Amino acid sequence: MIHLIVGNTGSGKTTYSNTLKKETNGLIFSIDYWNKTLFYADKKSTDGLDWFLERIKRAELIILDLIIQLENAKIDSILDLGLSKFEHREKFRQFATLHGFEMKLYFLDIQKNTRLKRVLKRNEEKGDTFEFEVSKDNFNFMEAWFEKPTKDEIAGAILITE
């Protein structure tokens, strides 16, 4: 089973993924962890969104291969990959369909003020789900960039609010 975890910045995707891992014994793919570990040290101040998107695309090639291996081993994949755009989510839906894998979408639909408070607290505390600081500017950028799942996408999905 492939679990798509969808929500805007600060919605609790990584925390929810960790809870789901305990329930399913699945393997989490968290793009923030991959970015921090593989790429963040090489990022220059002039590198922007395109720099990250290109690296995410490369990382996902490996993730897709690993999902096939996990499915063959009967182990769930929990995708905490941001999935901020319809097109990005569709890529994984098509992949699941192509390979005959079961997939479930989880939409964490949390109010903006709650999410901002969580992000600021995470920045300050640097706890378990902290990978890198998210500035208010980055938060606001993601707020505008995120595409809320369509009515068709959330049909049959698990909806999480507050």
Tell me if 9 sits within 8 A of 82, measured CB to CB.
no
Distance separating alpha carbons of residues 116 and 146, to the nearest angstrom: 15
Q: Is the pLDDT of residue 133 over 70?
A: no
Q: Is the pLDDT of residue 68 over 70?
A: yes
For the chain, what is the mean pLDDT? 89
pLDDT value of residue 79 = 97
Collapsing DSSP states into helix, strand and coil, what is residue 108? strand
Tell me if 31 sits within 8 A of 56, measured CB to CB.
yes
Mean pLDDT on 72-97: 95
Q: Is the pLDDT of residue 6 over 90?
A: yes
Mean pLDDT on 130-156: 82
The better pLDDT of the pair 158, 35 is held by: 158
Q: Is the pLDDT of residue 90 over 90?
A: yes
Which helix (H) or strand (E) is 63 found in, with range? helix 49-72
Task: List all residues 6 or more positions away from 69 whose beta carbon is below 8 Å from its beta carbon.
Answer: none
pLDDT value of residue 122 = 78
Distance separating alpha carbons of residues 149 and 83, to the nearest angstrom: 10
Q: Is the pLDDT of residue 72 over 80?
A: yes
91-107: pLDDT as tens digits? 999 999 999 999 999 99
Q: Is the pLDDT of residue 132 over 70?
A: no
CATH of domain 2-160: 3.40.50.300
